[in-house]
Amino acid sequence: MAEPETKMEKLAPPPQTVTHAPALPARFRRLAQLRDSDLWFSFRTHPSAVFAAALLALVALTAFLAPLITPQNPYDLASLELWNSEIPPIWNAEGQWPYLLGTDTQGRDILSAILYGSRISLIIGFASVLLALSVGLALGLVAGYFGGWIDNVIMRLGDVLLSMPFILIAILITAIAAASLPAGLKDVLAAPILIFAIAVPSWVQYARTVRASAMVEARKEYVQAARLIRVKAWRIMLHHILPNCMTPIMVAATLNFGLAILSEATLSFLGVGMPPDQPSLGTLIRIGNQYLFSGLWWIVVFPSIQLCLIVLSVNMIGDWLRDALNPKLR
Amino acid sequence: MIAFLLKRATNAAFVMLAVALLAFVIFRFFGDPVEMMVNEQATQADRAELRERLGLNDGLITQYGRFVTHAVQGDFGISYRNQQDVMVLIKERFPATFELVLVATVISLVVGIPLGVITAVYRNSRLANALQLGSIVGVSLPSFVVGILLILGFSVTLGWLPGFGRGETVDIGWWSTGFLTPSGRAALILPSISLSTFQVTLVMRLVRAEMLETLRADYIKFARARGVPTARVQWRHALRNCLMPVITLTGMQIGNLIAFALVTETVFQWPGMGMLFIQAVTFVDIPVMAAYLMIVSFIFVALNTLVDITYAWVDPRLRDDTARTGGGNG
């Protein structure tokens, strides 16, 4: 494929690069590297990935700018007017400006509630992935690198967690937390409890993946060499082994981000997640579900659509990433 | 083979003991059982007497042992909320959940397998691409959203199918079935579709991946060369060799379906075990929660072990534990 000349260039960095380098600040050089990478090329040539990323960016942007762009703060009870309740969406004859997607039974603007709700859903999803990722990577590295009894303990713990359905563990944790905390504290801590409840059953997957690679890497010569010159164990794990198993982890983390948002929504829908005064998308759907048979369809349909769009775009990115990083499919 | 059987069985038993420990801890330490059971007027002496009668003064290991012994005999104590035997409550609700899961599994196979074959055989055609995209959408749709939209469409707007409850049921012994009455069958349609959405896409993706691999095999080319009609080669020769993983997946997913049925049951007000569990969570009815956890985990672990044993029976190479790569769970 490559001509001998270019191969030579790759082996010995040509002088131009050196002369060019100082002109570009380090940041931009990294950007340029990214621009020329295979991954970026694959991204550009996959319309579904570009579409999904754009959609997700739009959702995230509107969600985090919600206080600036929404006509109403849905948490502020003073801004709710009961005579503005049950207004249908704007394209309906009875629709009213500025309630683009209508209002619920308490006069809360649906669009504002959705944007604020998306913010909560995104934050909880992201934080739980981050928590599961850090715990999973740490335990997986330790298990794979040291082996022996510590490996046994960690992996058996994982086996037990995997022997119970994901959603069941999450429900149990939120239920126990709700039962053992005083009423006032329960609502304040709802988000951290959810993050924890979703992270507990999901760290196992990362730990297993990393452990498998760590076991292989730990036997390789470069790790042996590092050990010989007395590099500290944690340093070998973090700087030498971890970077070598990041690819499958990245794919898993992306797909789990979608799963985490879904799980949060499911828990909130079941009534063990976010309370109604700080609703996530799941809570909004739970509230709307009560009016399903009374013809107020917009209260439940629009939050559902938003939730599906978020999860769909995350999954599409995850799917693309899995194919793009899979060396077999290149 | 016997050694392998024993090993797998002990493994499963240990996992169940760990789950039981978890259930026991929940039962014993979250909410005082005595406070939950006595009424307000009970004297200190009454409470002490009940404490003694429940054996709460014994050593923790003795208590755990008793908990396990009782659980093995199907005795999970008395529900705090409705003062009934927990096992009786679960036995009443089990048929509803079982029939729902059964129908959902059948749907996932009947719909998922042909779709998987079509996407593999007509690879890169417009239809296959549309189905592929549809499968990502299917994975991304939360099952409760599917349920709500189905109710909105088919019950509220069109009025074709019932949107809640189980319809009329017929009792056969202690088993109550909805299969034998028209209203019972009609009531099953929407919940089972909603429960099977995720499963359909899972089966479809698996069949597609397996088919793509199998269609490249020599014996397929040979069958074609021999003049076997293309459709027959695809739907018989190739498909048959793809079915083993599908059976495995279906077996392992039944536990997940039972757990996920609790979401569907909440949406459709389906009087199954899942509804019982969610109500127990709302009212902190801990014996019911503990029992549900143990039963669902037992089904989960039993099915996984069964699948492993079947595999080892079919393929002797897997009996040697060192040859196993681990993972494959989830």
Contact B297 A163 (CB under 8 A): yes
- Using CA atoms, how far apart are residues B191 and A169, in angstroms rounded to an integer? 23
* Domain annotation covers residue B233: yes
Does residue A141 have a pLDDT over 90?
no
What residues make up the domain containing B137?
Answer: 86-273
Determine the residue of chain A that is closest to B146 in CA distance: A304
Q: Which residues of B touch A164 (CB under 8 A)?
A: 19, 293, 296-297, 300
pLDDT reported for residue A4: 45
User: Does the pLDDT at position A96 exceed 70?
Assistant: no
Is residue B11 in some structural domain? no
Which one, of B279, B259, B275, lies nearest residue B267 by Cα? B275
Q: Encoding tokens for residue B149?
A: 């939209």
Residues 258-297 of B with CB under 8 A from A: 258-260, 262-263, 266-267, 277-278, 281-282, 284, 286, 289, 293, 296-297
B54, part of any domain: no
Q: Given a cut of 80, is residue A184 above it in pLDDT?
A: no
* Closest residue on chain A to B330 (Cα): A162
Ramachandran angles phi, psi of A220, nearest 5°: -75, 165
Q: Provide the chain B residues 232-261 that lie in CB contact (below 8 A) with chain A.
A: 255-256, 258-260
The verdict on residue B254 lying in a domain is yes
**Which of A141-150, A172-181, B100-109, B154-163 is most confident?**
B100-109
3-state secondary structure of B318: helix
Closest CA to A205 of A244, A257, A264: A257
Q: Where are the alpha helices (DSSP H) in A37-147?
A: 38-44, 47-64, 66-69, 110-146
Q: Looking at the complex, report in whole angstroms how far the Cα of residue B190 sits from the nearest Cα belonging to chain A.
A: 15
Shortest CA distance from A256: residue in chain B: B140
Q: What is the pTM of this model?
A: 0.81
| Cβ–Cβ contact B156 with A under 8 A | yes
Give the integer Cα–Cα distance in Å for B21 and B261: 25
CA distance A144 to A152: 10
Nearest-by-Cβ selection for B136 from A171, A179, A319: A319
Share of chain B above pLDDT 90, in %: 2
- What is the pLDDT, as a whole number, of residue A173? 87
Lowest mean per-residue pLDDT among A181-195, B12-26, B257-271: A181-195
pLDDT tens digits, residue range B189-240?
A: 889 988 888 888 888 888 888 888 887 778 877 877 887 787 777 787 778 7
Contact A297 B263 (CB under 8 A): no
Which of B196 and B31 is assigned the larger pLDDT? B196
Residue of A nearest to B255 (CA): A165
CATH number at residue B106: 1.10.3720.10
- B231-262 CB burial, b ≥16 within 10 A, e <16: eebbeebbbebbeeebebbbebbbbbbbbbbb
Q: What is the pLDDT of residues B138-152, one digit of tens each?
A: 888 888 888 888 888
- Residue B330: inside a domain: no
Look at residue B182 and tell me if it is in a domain: yes
What angle do helix axes A166-180 and A190-218 make, rounded to 10 degrees? 140
Query: Residue A61, exposed/middle/buried by CB under 10 A (0-12, 13-18, 19+)?
Result: exposed
* In a domain? residue B81: no
> What's the total number of domains in chain B?
1
Contact across the interface for B263 and A167, Cβ inside 8 Å = yes
Interface test with B, best of A156, A162, A167, A168 (most B CBs within 10 A): A168
User: Quick check: A304 pLDDT over 60?
Assistant: yes
Q: Indicate whether B302 belongs to any domain.
A: no
Angstrom distance (rounded) from CA B282 to CA B286: 10
